[in-house]
Amino acid sequence: MLAGLCLHQTAWADNAQPANKQTTNAQVLAKSTIMPALKQKAPYSNSTPHSPDWGVFNTGKGVASGFGIIGGPGQPRWAEDWSDLATMSPAKRRADWFNRLKYIPLTDNGDIWLSINGEERLRYIFENQPMMGTAGKTNANRVLLRNQYGADLHIGEHIRAYAEFLWGVAGGSNYYGYQTGVQRERLDLQQGILEVKGNLLGAKMGAIGGRQVFLDAPLSMQSSRDLTNAQQTWDGFRGYAVWKSFRMDLFDFMQTNKLPRNVFANGTNYNARMYGIYTSTALPNFTVMGQKSQIFADVFFIGYLFNGTPAAISTTTGTQSGSTRRDNVGSRIWGNVGPFNVSLTGVFQGGEFRPAASQGATRAVRACAVNGVFGWTAKNLKSAPSFSLQADMFSGGSYHSKDGAVGTFATPYFPFPYYNDVTLALTSQNLIGVGPVITATPVPHLLLKLHVPVFWRESTQDAVYGTGKIYSWRNNLSGGFIGATPQTQIAWNFAPHWTWTHDIAGFVASNGMRQAGAKDGAFYMQTMEFKF
């Protein structure tokens, strides 16, 4: 808050109002893995404020549409639609001072209008043994400040332009990881898109070109990378079509290069490409135990082309560099069956690995992943607690193999950290994880979440993987058991537009991991966020 005041960028409402429902990282996980969020009356509702009308695909605050959580505020801010303010009663519109910035008509009939959004986020992170003690720092203290503002211009019903600007500051003591370009960011274009849309062939269709956040992929494979100051964005195009019970998304992107630190210096990383098609079918709804039920069947192909450190594979003495193509063919069945929430995803990953010059022959890729969540919500209790079991398997390979197929599942584009490990010490490669997830809202505007995953290596002939890291432990690592990472989150929406979040986690290593050199660790993250 102090940082925002010093920057003269904090705004205040005219009158105190009941706290708005803010989107926390726990809620992102809750919505996307079919667990309930704050004050949700039903698991699936087609009524989402400040959202385009996607029909049944408004389910889960718009998650089913492929644009992430949409309600105000949403994940990608350009996915919001504040035109409903035009028909809102003046008294209700004045209840929030910032509504005057969300819908600004520029013509008398309101067919051209502007929406402005902003975010100030101050984050503190403490880790006593980061990355299981391998980061080269102990008792690391990191302080991150993100200033992010955007403007959304609607020109009639068919054209829209959006620009979003970011400035990120990072400091602390004994810190690490700031050289990657995703924490310290001088003023730059974070997102910039042009969208053309309309109704065609009985569907709502559109094409979006430019720099953008992309979220139409399984959480276990790809996310917006929101733990850092700079979210993961992509330069390219996507085309979407949404019918009554079927939608399709086509996309082809290059990753944005965040390494340049000069003002407006970010370019395109042509060494990292993601392309494919994602489809979702809303099956006919039905009733179980007196409750409306809705199941979605998703089928997708996601292709990766990348090289450098993320493409390296494990060997007996270290890593082998090269480039790789990963062809991900998968399906997801998810939704609610009465009071039960279910999600099951399966992915086969093919492709090839090309070693760097003179380091061996091209190898095929044969990897897979299976992810499942099964939960139940006690709606009759005051806090509406949700009890779920989450289980995941990401295949591993063998660092002894020099010419066989590569069996390690690759996730180069930052899986959602809250899905498995908020500390980033482990990631979705050569991993089996099982654990309960419990969420509850004991009082209004307060969300509690507990996740206790226990981890094993899927293949004991493969390494242990962290986010962007392959640990050096090899033959001195015995057994498949890695350890447990209990983690909890407390998110308090204490005032309009303000959320105060505490994430607490710890890593408890197995005996085999300790003998190999891994260290137990504690993690604490505090986030103060202001959004309008």
Could you give the CA distance from residue 236 to residue 208 in angstroms, rounded to a whole number? 8
Q: What is residue 314's predicted lDDT score, i.e. its pLDDT? A: 95
Q: How confident is the model at residue 12 (pLDDT cuts 50, 70, 90)?
A: very low
pLDDT above 50 for 1: no
Q: How many helices (H) and strands (E) does the chain have?
A: 7, 27
Q: What pTM was computed for the model? A: 0.90
Q: Average pLDDT, stretch 286-305?
A: 95
Residue 442 gets which letter from DSSP?
S
Q: What is the rounded distance in angstroms from the CA atom of residue 492 to the CA atom of residue 24?
A: 9
**Low-confidence winner among 35-44, 87-96, 274-283 (lowest mean pLDDT):** 35-44
Contact 425, 507 (CB under 8 A): yes
Q: Which amino acid is at 473?
A: W
Window from 92-96, 116-120, 137-141, 330-334 with minimum mean pLDDT:
92-96
> 338-349: per-residue pLDDT in tens?
999 999 999 999
Q: Express each pLDDT in 402-416 by its tens digit.
A: 999 999 999 999 999
User: Using 50, 70 and 90 to split pLDDT, how confident is the model at 475?
Assistant: confident
For 447-458, write each residue's pLDDT tens digit: 999 999 999 999
Q: Which residues pair with 431 in a beta bridge?
A: 394
Rounded to whole angstroms, the Cα distance separating 282 from 244 reads 8
Cis status of the peptide bond prior to 73, with omega within 30 of 0: yes
Mean pLDDT of 482-507: 97
Residue 393: name the closest of 354, 364, 432 by CA. Answer: 432
Q: Which candidate, 173, 218, 233, 130, places its Cα nearest to that of 467?
A: 130
Which of these ranges, 120-129, 309-318, 484-493, has the smallest mean pLDDT? 309-318
- Of 43-47, 212-216, 232-236, least confident by mean pLDDT is 43-47
The answer on pLDDT for 72 being more than 80 is no
Please compute Rg for the chain using Cα positions.
23
Q: What is the pLDDT of residues 139-197, one digit of tens each?
A: 999 999 999 999 999 999 999 999 999 999 999 999 999 998 999 999 999 999 999 99
Confidence label for 74 from pLDDT (cuts 50, 70 and 90):
confident
Cβ neighbours of 377 (radius 10 Å) = 23
Q: How far is CA 14 from the centre of its chain?
A: 33
Cα 375 to Cα 42: distance, rounded to the nearest angstrom: 14
Calculate the average pLDDT of the chain: 90
Output the six-digit token pair for 263. Answer: 């003002």
The per-residue pLDDT for 25 is 55
- Predicted local confidence at residue 271, as pLDDT: 94
User: What three-state secondary structure class fits 6?
Assistant: helix
Pairwise CA distance, residues 209 & 212, whole Å:
8
Q: Which of 83, 37, 87 is nearest to 63 (CA)?
A: 37
> Quick check: helix, strand or coil at residue 133?
helix
Closest CA to 302 of 462, 434, 415: 415
Share of the chain above pLDDT 70, in %: 91
| Beta carbons of 97 and 11 less than 8 angstroms apart | yes
How much is the pLDDT for 47?
Answer: 59
Round to whole Å and give the CA distance between 158 and 206: 9
Give the model's confidence band at 13: pLDDT under 50 very low, under 70 low, under 90 confident, else very high: very low
| Confidence check: pLDDT of 43 > 60 | no
**DSSP assignment string, 322-346:** EEEEEEEEEEEEEEEETTEEEEEEE
Average pLDDT over residues 312-330: 95
